[in-house]
Amino acid sequence: MLVHGRVQGVGFRASCHGRAVDAGVGGWVRNTAGGEVEAAFEGPGPAVDALVQWCSKGPSWAHVDGIEVTDDVPRGDAAFEIR
């Protein structure tokens, strides 16, 4: 997924990481050169859906203008990392 808005420099990746680890979801999150945050989630559908929903708002100090969600082939990521 790609998150647009004021999402870099506001703890978005660290907050996303904490929520993903707590939910037992694998994948990764990173900043893009264009100012967005990009993330990939793998795990139980309800947990992934909850993370996508959270990303549409982000942490309180972020301002999310919109998200783009795409489905991809699972890679088998068991852990979640900040890239």
| Enzyme catalytic residues | 13, 31
Distance, CA of 65 to CA of 70 (rounded, Å): 17
Cα 26 from Cα 33, distance rounded (Å): 23
Residue type, 62: A
Q: 78: Cβ–Cβ under 8 A, 6 or more apart, which residues?
A: 26
